[in-house]
Amino acid sequence: MKTNRFTPAQITEAAALLKAGEVVAFPTETVYGLGAIATDPKAVAKVFAAKHRPADNPLIVTVATTAMVAEYATITPAAQQLMTAFWPGPLTIILPVLPGRLPAVVTGGLSTAAFRLPASAVTRDLIAATGVPIVGPSANLSTKPSATKAEHVLHDFDGVIAGVVDAGPTPVGVESTVIDMTVTPPAILRPGKLGPADLEPIIGPVQADHHHVAAGETPKAPGMKYKHYAPAAQVVIVDAPADWPAALAWAKVSGTAYGVLASPAILATVPTGVPTYALGGDIQAATHNLFAGLRWFDLHPSVSLVLAQAYPATGLGAAYMNRLDKSAGGRHFTQEQA
């Protein structure tokens, strides 16, 4: 199949493909999504097939207006407060579904579904042009880092999907915060740009224990039980700036070709000839560049070990460290030394 690369000015063509039951990737403020008409089970099945996604991992329903949500789910008063405060924006809200309105392939057979109204006007215009919600899982092969550029989408899906709407790099760089509003207190199932400090002033206390999904335990967001964000190389996290000299010395004698994913200040201390990718100088830049960096090392298959910079896990750093920790399978340099 030919994969069309559309500009934001070609949304009508992209919407026509979606309406014909095809899969078209779209930009959002967080990461690129893999779109298909949410009410068309055959189109949604193509998304699962393209991603190699397990069938028990439900998809986000992406909408252009709050009114679209009301056609498929019960909007509780607290959920309405979140929508008023944060939509359009990087917050996905889990709500009880109205029976029979969404295909089981979208919800994974659950009695709840995840809804998202992205900040990107391109996305909202695309959905408005189709007239119905579109599913929007991240546009990456299952287990791989999410796509923050159209090039990443094409790397994973060229020839497999009908198109991608290219609006350039996605600003935030990590996926939306997922909050489950069907439990009391509401639970953050996936950290994102919006954290408890943003949500609690609006709806009161939230549970944010998403870091502690033990092996063998069933996590609340089905997607969190799978291997995730993993490049081909082994990622090892370097926790503190002071650990870098020892980490670089350890990597050098490890006998494996290694690379470094860190801020320009740290990269200045890396020996010449070592492949490096700059994260930028602060947590916003690091989050924006994280997936692109992980994917860059996949294009350099000689590298089998990547040392990656940690940030304090507060605010946006909680989302950054959640993704980096998964990409590393929990490996930290401090443990290598012990």
Least CB distance to ligand TXA at residue 301 (A): 25
From candidates 8, 58, 133, 317, binder to ligand TXA by CB under 6 A: 58
Amino acid at 171: P
By C-beta, is 138 or 289 nearer to Mg ion?
Answer: 138
- Of these, 57, 76, 81, 304, which contacts ligand TXA (CB under 6 A)? 57
- Of these partners, Mg ion, ligand TXA, none, which one is at the site of residue 70 (CB under 5 to 8 Å by kind)? none
- Mask for 69-108, x = binds ligand TXA (CB under 6 A): -----------------------x-x--------------
What's the min distance (Å) between Cβ of 136 and ligand TXA? 4
**Residue 300 near residue 275 (C-beta atoms within 8 A):** yes
Least Å from the CB of residue 178 to Mg ion: 10
Under the criterion CB under 6 A, does residue 195 sit at the interface with ligand TXA? no
The answer to the question of residue 222 lying near ligand TXA (CB under 6 A) is yes
* Footprint of ligand TXA on 259-318 (CB under 6 A): none
Instruction: For the CB of residue 37, give the shortest distance to Mg ion in the complex, in Å.
Output: 19
**What tokens does 197 get?**
């400090």
Helical pair 150-157 and 283-298, crossing angle rounded to 10 deg: 30
Q: Closest distance between Mg ion and the C-beta of residue 185, in Å?
A: 25
Our finding on whether 154 is near ligand TXA (CB under 6 A) is no
Among 120, 176, 287, 309, indicate the residue that binds ligand TXA (CB under 6 A). Answer: 176
Q: Which is nearer to ligand TXA, 26 or 311 (CB)?
A: 26
Residue 58 touches which member of Mg ion, ligand TXA, none, C-beta under 5-8 Å by kind = ligand TXA
Q: Taking the complex as a whole, how short is the minimal distance between the CB of residue 76 and ligand TXA, in angstroms?
A: 15
Judged by CB under 5 A, the residue of 30, 138, 263, 287 near Mg ion is 138
β-pairing, 177-180 with 91-96?
parallel
Quote the radius of gyration of the chain (alpha carbons, Å).
20
- Under the binding rule (CB under 6 A), the answer on residue 224 touching ligand TXA is yes
Edge-to-edge, what's the strand order for the sheet holding 163-165?
A: 4-6, 163-165, 24-26, 33-37, 134-135, 60-62, 112-116, 91-96, 177-180, 187-190
| Binding flag, residue 30, Mg ion (CB under 5 A) | no
The span from the CA of 5 to the CA of 19, in Å, is 17
* Closest listed residue to residue 138, CA positions, set 126, 125, 151, 147: 147
Give whichever of 58 and 259 is closer to ligand TXA, judged by the CB atom: 58
Q: Which does 221 bind (CB under 5 to 8 A by kind): Mg ion, ligand TXA, none?
A: ligand TXA
Q: What are the start-end ranges of the H helices in the chain? A: 11-19, 41-51, 66-70, 77-86, 104-107, 121-130, 150-157, 196-203, 244-253, 264-267, 283-298, 316-327, 333-337
User: Cis omega (within 30 of 0) on the bond before 264?
Assistant: no
| Cβ closest to ligand TXA, residue 18 vs residue 113 | 113
Which residue reads 């309105």 in tokens?
101
Do residues 211 and 271 lie in contact, with contact meaning Cβ atoms separated by under 8 Å?
no
Contact in structure between 45 and 107 (CB atoms under 8 Å): no
CA separation (Å) from 117 to 86, 164, 333?
A: 9, 19, 39
Residues that bind Mg ion (CB under 5 A): 138
Residues that bind ligand TXA (CB under 6 A): 28, 30-31, 33, 57-60, 92, 94, 110, 112-114, 116, 118, 136-138, 175-176, 178, 189-190, 220-224
